[in-house]
Copies of this chain bind each other. A is one copy, B any other.
């Protein structure tokens, strides 16, 4: 990383984070690092007890931590109740990319005459903005992106390079779309006549709320009739597939490689682990967590943690057990017979 981070004093950091500083407020720092890696011009943080062992030996200029741990900190402290949240805020202060894009349309971009661009919009090289598209103030469209006809993107949103948004999509404010993600491709809809498939035109759209982030290479398909709807503050990781007419409630988070089949509704504040699959036409209530690679084939009506599958084991042991899985019903029936025989005797 050759990027230059901005320089900040500890007093400035304390003020921005609402943290209490114990130490020299004039000391300047230039970056963030872990307790173990931080040098004397960096701030470290302690947000997880597993790293408490690294606190005494840290060389950091200051450590962001909970007041309970200030006593054992060998250097300046920035104390606050939620140090992980403080770390998040501080990371953004040190982001060398923040505000880096110069506004303006690159000469090589192709922008339709009737597209409407807000103030301070930046459109990168080789990007394409189709007819009737509308980009709010401060929107950044990266190199190679394509924004389809009549699509609207809210203020402050950022499309990294090579993002594709189809026609008629509505995207909120401060949304971040990473490279290779595709918003608004046709959902997977076909009718069968007994011999072959007939395409069902996907006439709905996609509506994405404010403060959503979508990871690299993920797909959110447009609705068949109504819209696919992603709520506010939903966070979607890379390689995720969201089918037509899915609805995701506000503040939910989907880890990498999740797949959600058509018309399923996920509630608010849900968390889906990596590789989780949800069948179509389900309803998942608010506050549900599903652990990694689980398959959900029924609706869930109670908040809580849900799981399926079994973890990896030594292959020889696994072979012996996996073959028994196919005998499981037989085992249960034989056990029942023995129990009956025991009671009868």
Interface residue ranges, A against B (CB under 8 Å): 1-3, 5, 31-34, 37, 82, 84-85, 87-89, 91-92, 94-98, 106, 108, 110, 124-128, 130, 132, 142-144, 146, 148, 150, 160-162, 164, 166-168, 176, 178-182, 185-186, 188-193, 195-205, 211, 213, 215-219, 221, 224-227, 233, 235, 237-241, 243, 251, 253, 255-257, 259, 261, 274-275, 277, 279, 290-298, 300, 304-315, 317-329, 331-332, 334-335, 338-339, 341-342
Q: Is the CB of B161 within 8 A of A148?
A: yes
CA distance A321 to B330 in the complex (A): 8
Q: Which residues of B contact A34 (CB under 8 A)?
A: 225-226
Given contacts A162-B144, A179-B185, contact A313 B307 (CB under 8 A): yes
Q: Is the CB of A31 within 8 A of B203?
A: yes
Q: Which of chain B's residues has its CB closest to A174's CB?
A: B199
Residue among A33, A219, A279, A290 with the highest chain B CB neighbour number at 10 A? A219
Q: Is the CB of A182 within 8 A of B311?
A: no
Q: Which residues of B contact A307 (CB under 8 A)?
A: 312-313, 315, 318-319, 322
Q: Which residues of B contact A342 (CB under 8 A)?
A: 338, 341
Q: How far is the CB of A148 from chain B (nearest CB, A)?
A: 7
20 further contact pairs, Cβ within 8 A, besides A34-B225, A88-B199, A185-B215: A1-B203, A1-B205, A88-B198, A146-B179, A164-B179, A164-B180, A180-B181, A180-B185, A182-B217, A188-B235, A188-B256, A197-B251, A215-B221, A238-B241, A279-B292, A304-B315, A307-B315, A309-B309, A309-B322, A338-B339
Q: Which residues of B contact A33 (CB under 8 A)?
A: 225-226
Q: Which of chain B's residues has its CB closest to A96's CB?
A: B203
Given contacts A313-B307, A318-B308, contact A293 B295 (CB under 8 A): yes
Q: Is the CB of B277 within 8 A of A275?
A: yes
Q: Which residues of B contact A143 (CB under 8 A)?
A: 110, 128, 130, 146
Query: What secondary structure prevails in chain A residues at the interface with B?
Result: loop
Q: Which residues of B contact A317 (CB under 8 A)?
A: 326, 329
Q: How far is the CB of A274 from chain B (nearest CB, A)?
A: 5
CA distance A178 to B241 in the complex (A): 14
Which of these, B195, B203, B211, contacts A32 with CB under 8 Å?
B203
Q: How far is the CB of A246 from chain B (nearest CB, A)?
A: 11
Q: Which residues of B contact A98 (CB under 8 A)?
A: 201
Q: Is the CB of A125 within 8 A of B110?
A: yes
Q: Which of chain B's residues has its CB closest to A198's CB?
A: B88
Q: Is the CB of A126 within 8 A of B106?
A: no
Q: Is the CB of B191 within 8 A of A237?
A: no
Q: Is the CB of A331 within 8 A of B331?
A: yes
Q: Is the CB of A309 within 8 A of B335?
A: no
Q: How far is the CB of A48 from chain B (nearest CB, A)?
A: 10
CA distance A256 to B241 in the complex (A): 7
* Cβ contacts A to B, 26 pairs, < 8 Å: A5-B203, A88-B190, A88-B200, A91-B224, A95-B203, A97-B167, A160-B166, A161-B166, A186-B215, A219-B238, A239-B241, A259-B275, A274-B277, A275-B275, A292-B297, A300-B312, A304-B315, A306-B312, A306-B315, A307-B313, A307-B318, A307-B319, A309-B310, A310-B326, A323-B329, A335-B335
